[in-house]
Amino acid sequence: MTASHPIRVLVAKPGLDGHDRGAKIIARALRDAGMEVIYTGLRQTPEMIVNAALQEDVAVIGLSILSGAHNAIVPRVLQLLREKDMADVRVIVGGIVPDEDAEALKRQGVAAVFQPGASLDAIVRFIRENAGGDRAAH
Residues of this chain that interact with another protein (CB under 8 A) are: 15-21, 24-25, 27-29, 39, 41-43, 45, 67-69, 71-73, 96, 98, 115-117, 119-121
For the bound state, the minimum distance from the C-beta of residue 56 to another protein, rounded and expressed in Å, comes to 15
Residues linked to residue 93 through DSSP beta bridges, in sequence order: 63, 113
- Please identify, using beta-carbon distances, which residue of 21 and 107 lies nearer to another protein: 21
- Please identify, using beta-carbon distances, which residue of 107 and 117 lies nearer to another protein: 117
For the bound state, the minimum distance from the C-beta of residue 46 to another protein, rounded and expressed in Å, comes to 11
Q: Report d(CA 82, CA 87) in Å as an integer.
A: 5
- Please identify, using beta-carbon distances, which residue of 116 and 132 lies nearer to another protein: 116
CA nearest neighbour of 110 among 87, 122, 93, 97? 93
Contact between 126 and 92 (Cβ < 8 Å): yes
Q: Report d(CA 4, CA 104) in Å as an integer.
A: 34
For the bound state, the minimum distance from the C-beta of residue 133 to another protein, rounded and expressed in Å, comes to 26
For the bound state, the minimum distance from the C-beta of residue 45 to another protein, rounded and expressed in Å, comes to 8
Specify the DSSP class assigned to residue 7.
P
